[in-house]
Amino acid sequence: MGARNKNSKFAVAFTTIGFILILIAFVSPYWLVTDGRLVAPKFLNLGLWEVCFNNFQDVHRFYDTRFTGCMWVFEEEYYIIHDFLLPGFYVAVQFFFTLCFTLDLIAILVTLVFLKSPRDDDRYVFILLTNGATQLFAAFCGLIAVIIFGARGDGRDWMPNWQNNNMGWAFAFACIGVLFLIPAGVLFIVEARRERYKRLNEIGTREASAYTIDEHARKYRGSIHTDI
Segment 203-228 shows an average pLDDT of 55
Listed range (59-73, 121-135, 159-173) with the worst mean pLDDT? 59-73
Listed range (15-19, 54-58, 108-112) with the worst mean pLDDT? 54-58
Segment 1-10 shows an average pLDDT of 75
Provide the pLDDT for residue 202.
56
Relative to beta strand 50-56, strand 43-46 is antiparallel
Q: Is 215 helix (H, G, I), strand (E, B) or coil?
A: helix
CATH number of 6-227: 1.20.140.150
Share of the chain above pLDDT 90, in %: 46
Provide the pLDDT for residue 124.
82
Confidence check: pLDDT of 108 > 80: yes
Kindly report, residue by residue over 9-38, the tens digit of the pLDDT: 899 999 999 999 999 999 999 999 998 888
Provide the pLDDT for residue 79.
83
Distance between CA atoms of 221 and 208, rounded to whole angstroms? 20
Kindly report, residue by residue over 190-204, the tens digit of the pLDDT: 988 887 777 656 555
Distance between CA atoms of 142 and 179, rounded to whole angstroms? 9
Indicate the average pLDDT of the chain: 84
The interaxial angle of helices 169-227 and 124-152, nearest 10 deg, is 160
Confidence check: pLDDT of 68 > 90: no
Kindly report, residue by residue over 153-201, the tens digit of the pLDDT: 888 888 888 888 999 999 999 999 999 999 999 999 998 888 777 765 6
Confidence check: pLDDT of 60 > 70: no
Provide the pLDDT for residue 82.
84
- Which segments within the chain are labelled E, that is strand? 32-34, 43-46, 50-56, 67-72, 165-167
Confidence check: pLDDT of 66 > 60: yes
Provide the pLDDT for residue 139.
97
User: Which residues have a Cβ under 8 Å from the Cβ of 180 and sit 6 or more positions away?
Assistant: 14, 15, 17, 18, 21
